[in-house]
Amino acid sequence: MGILNVTPDSFADGGRYSNLNEALHRAEQMVSEGVDIIDIGGESTRPGSKKVDAGTEINRTAPIVHAIATRFDVPVSIDTTKSIVAKANIHAGAEIINDIAGLRFDEEIADVAVSSGAGLVLMHSRGEFETMHTQPPVEDIFADVETDFRRAIKLATDHGIEKERIVLDVGIGFGKNVDQNLQLIAELSRLIDAFPGFPILVGASRKTFIGKLLDLPDPRDRLSGSVAAAAIAAWNGASILRVHDVRETVEAVRMIDAIKRSAG
């Protein structure tokens, strides 16, 4: 899943792709590099980010979603916590809704997924929009993630979405300390075993914990750490990797597949 932020303030690439032509160029590049899904977001969720109204978010995303969906044979995901934004972008051509709040902010997102047949990504996070990154870490991160996943799955299925259309995102970087982010990647099999049949998504790309571990304050310098985290997540069973650096991650995963096949 390649990240295409069309915001002016995203932490790793803010402002780079808010222009339609620039967004299309980046989408074309990601397709050539082997991307399987393009995830488009119009509201930054970096630490310290400010909420934007639904109209602004739609104006940022829907024209780009439509342009990409009509030009490339790759499914488009809309990264939003608002049902009205999800609905507008599904109408524009998106096939997946990526909700970082796991239906906590707006459970009607599930209704949009049901009525449209879209896939639904439910991410673990805690707190309100403004406090998701400043929540004190819980004592047992796996217990908290599992409890929240069960809540989100029940809410989604109560609204009528089939389990086969749900993906679970562990929420790297959201309300977790460095050690907890590492634990989630290292012991990802615990969540895979706890939720059989649900694809697990890991999005560690350029996140703050990598910067802290490697002393790299600029997110653009975190390529090696991001690929390493993605590779280990893939080795441990992640079904989807949400990344900024598509070519490098695709090459790493192809090597992992080859090594696993050689080992039977």
Active site members: 207, 242
Strand order across the beta sheet in which 38-41 lies: 2-5, 38-41, 76-79, 96-99, 119-123, 166-169, 200-202, 240-241
> How many other C-beta atoms can be found within 10 angstroms of the C-beta atom of residue 218?
9
| Under 8 Å between Cβ of 214 and 225 | yes
d(CA 148, CA 56): 29
Q: Do 205 and 169 touch, CB atoms closer than 8 A? A: no
Alpha carbon distance 237, 193 (integer Å): 10
Contact between residue 140 and residue 121 where contact means Cβ atoms under 8 Å apart: no
Measured CA to CA in angstroms, residue 131 lies from 19, 109, 241 at distances of 29, 21, 25
CA 90 to each of CA 87, 112, 245: distance values in angstroms, whole numbers, following the listed order: 5, 8, 25
H/E stretch holding 237: none
Tokens of 175: 């309300």
Q: Which of 181, 164, 162, 163 is nearest to 172 (CA)?
A: 181
